[in-house]
Structure 1
Amino acid sequence: MQQLVAKIAIPIPEDQILISKVELEELKQQQLFGTYWSMKDLEQRINRKQEWIKEHILFPTKFRKILDIEEGGFVFYPQKKGQTWSFHARHMAKFLDDHFNQIFLNCN
């Protein structure tokens, strides 16, 4: 069998770089380290309003046992007026990925 070997040059614009998928994922994860989301941040991340998030993610017992910092989780649930929600970004992002089907399957 014959083979043809060719070398070509593909120009890459100055404002772009090539990186591996593994490196891209590592960069994405590093971006979330030490980052905390507010309720507004979470709304933007999943494109749902606060009321929906509370009803389908934060208050169902099966999820609250995982999420609530008082249960060893990574979400601060406000306990009195003036306190705000706080979400550990990296852990919350992973939770949302891991539980996507459970969250969105029965929430029409």
Structure 2
Amino acid sequence: MTTLLQDTELQQQLSINLTIPIPSDSVIISKVELQELKQQQLKGVYWTMKDLEVRINRKHEWIKDNILYPPKFKNILDVEQGGFVFYPQSKGQTWSFHALKMAEFLDKNFQQIFSQKR
């Protein structure tokens, strides 16, 4: 046991070795690797509006009103302005979202999207 003197208080610290068995059907990976694997799942994937509804647990009306049509977001998202969201321009066309870029956008702008002070 090691004793440390810190801010006139006596602290005790115990150092131990512990073996934890990892099941044969499991592996341990770093957080960085996990993030990379999650991103790989979205590469080359396109979401429909229905996919986006499921992903963020909101209906399409809310998504349009709070994410897709406000100018501060539309200027970033619209494929016609270099973005990664296809906005339907005529009846019969459907929304299309580049999954990886949309997921990153949602993460980056979470507070702005869901804040009452927009």
Both structures adopt the same fold (TM-score exceeding 0.5): yes
Aligned to 1:42: 52
Q: Which runs of 5+ in 2 are unaligned?
A: 3-13
Q: Which runs of 5+ in 1 are unaligned?
A: none
Runs of 4+ in 1 over 6 A off after TM superposition: none
Between the aligned partners of 1:80 and 1:5, the Cα distance in structure 2 is: 67
Percent of paired sites with the same residue: 68
Between the aligned partners of 1:41 and 1:17, the Cα distance in structure 2 is: 30
TM-score (norm 1): 0.89
Q: Deviations over 1:24-77 (max 9, x none)?
A: 111111111111111011011111000000000001111100000001100000
Larger Rg: 1 or 2?
Answer: 2
Q: Deviations over 1:63-96 (max 9, x none)?
A: 1000000011000001111111000011101111
Instruction: Choose between structure 1 and 2: higher strand proportion.
Output: 2
Between the aligned partners of 1:6 and 1:72, the Cα distance in structure 2 is: 55
Aligned to 2:30: 20
TM-score (norm 2): 0.82
Q: Secondary structure at 1:87's aligned position in 2?
A: strand
Between the aligned partners of 1:46 and 1:6, the Cα distance in structure 2 is: 43
Instruction: Choose between structure 1 and 2: higher helix proportion.
Output: 1
